Structure 1
Amino acid sequence: MKARLEKSPRQKIVAVKPPAPRRPTPEEVALKNALEQFANAVNLFSNNEFSKARGILGRLVTTPSTDLAERARVYLNICNQRLSRSILHLKTADDFYNHGVQLANQGNLDEAEECLKKALKLAPKCDYIHYAMATTEALRGNNVEGALEHLQKAIELNAQNRYLAQKDPDFSNLEEDPRFTEMIYPEKSPA
């Protein structure tokens, strides 16, 4: 900030220091922290991480800011509704597979992978579960090796999976990988 200059009665110029910056009150600090927590909870909510969002929102409904508390309460109710719907009794490999595919379609790739892993434990030689696991890992993009291994296993168990993979957009980020192209287009591979 620039210092203000004032003229005194004698026409001297006197420099006046700007006031020291005001420290925020504890209430202002608490509100700022609550707003940051709310933004974090909304981000988790947007990513379908309702359980994590619910924990934060539950603490925010008691905040002194009535507007923020009411918004947190609305999001908290939605989280509770979504979480109560998702309490499922999955027992069979197909139950876990179907739920995993549903989660993957909703963009919950981490949860989808967990369901598909459980399905594979129950049915380790099921080609479509390996195929779904391959697409999920390909979409996540952080385990190319795992995606290729599951796709290879799916093809070994059912050769039709090779033709499905050729047209499947879920594998688009693997198209440049020569191991992938050799796997799904073996006729084009050099002998």
Structure 2
Amino acid sequence: MSIVNEPPIYLQQRLFYRGRKFNFDVNSLRLPNGVEGDWECIRHPGGALAVPITPEGKLVLVKQYRFAVEGRLLEFPAGTLEPNEEAAETIKREIEEETGYRAHKWHFLGKFPLAPGYSDEYIYPFLAQDLEKLEQPPTQDEDEDIEVVLMTFSEFEAAIIAGELIDAKSITSFLMAKLFLGK
């Protein structure tokens, strides 16, 4: 099932903030059903994510400090798309920087909106297999506080059920990878 594109009519668009990773604007709109009003939106270029699986069948995750939730989240490696960059390029760079692994087999799992109530960001998840541990991994970005974590599928599922701090994009992408693999 695909979503039918029904754009609103923009009556007025106002940029409130231009940031390093995203912009924030307020829009006066007429929706397809005729309702008019003001809506705020975070404009984001999108992100690519990998669900990496080692040859031994372990998931490669990162525990990353996220200031917005004031804590460390368990996540799959991911990154923001750079201007004019394909999602596959983004994630191949990010998996090496964040985990120290290189994948030799990739499968695109689709795309999904992350928080469509207030953002236009899409996540592009990939299954990353045939991993190789790099002897000299690239340096992590200076603003990232990351620890690599290996887990089995059942350990990750138990963490989800236990309510550990795991972000939604990782849970969704895990389910997509699991369905693709027929697990």
Does TM, scored on the shorter chain, surpass 0.5? Answer: no
More helix by share: 1
Which of structures 1 and 2 has the bigger CA Rg?
1
With a CA cutoff of 8 Å and minimum separation of 6, indicate the structure with the bigger relative contact order.
2
**TM-score for both structures, normalised by structure 1:** 0.25
TM-score normalised per structure 2 = 0.26
